[in-house]
Amino acid sequence: MKGVGELIAVLGSRVLRYGLVLVVGWIGLMKFTGYEANGIQPLVAHSPLMGWMYHFLSVRQFSAGLGVVEVAIAILIALRPWSPKTSTVGSALAVVMFLTTLSFLFSTPGWEPSLGGFPALSALPGTVSAQGRGVAGGGDMVAGRVANVG
């Protein structure tokens, strides 16, 4: 029989995993809207990792493609009960996605000069940074738990 602590740990990992699935899937589905496509445009345009894609994709096409990737990552993570290895791949891809999101912090102009410059961020890169740090930690934890438990 499992102890209370172990049951809480199992419940916590499930809440974290499916919370991550919900957030990543929701953000991915938002990429299909014009609002989100236009919202990420300045971030992507300044990114050395992704800005080059606007040379052959429109803002909406890139956003929709990114949405497909994000929804696929959410589905891979959700497959844990049926395929732990597939879920591990999804979690690792989520970490890469979050680290890419964090890279916007360094490539997007956004230090707030009225507050003295670095480290005061304007709203957009600051929001991305907070989102990326929080969810990357969750992706790391889920990937590690799946890899260790099997």
The total of structural domains in the chain comes to 1
8 Å CB contact between 67 and 31: yes
What range defines the domain where residue 9 resides? Answer: 4-149
CA dist 95 and 76 (Å) reads 13
The reported pLDDT for the residue numbered 137 is 54
Q: What is the pLDDT of residue 57?
A: 96
Burial code of 2-27, b = ≥16 C-beta within 10 A, e = fewer? eeeeeeeeeeebeebbbebbebbbeb
pLDDT of res. 114: 61
| Per-residue pLDDT, 54 | 96
Mean pLDDT in order along the chain per 10 residues (150 residues): 83 92 95 94 91 96 97 97 95 93 79 57 50 52 53
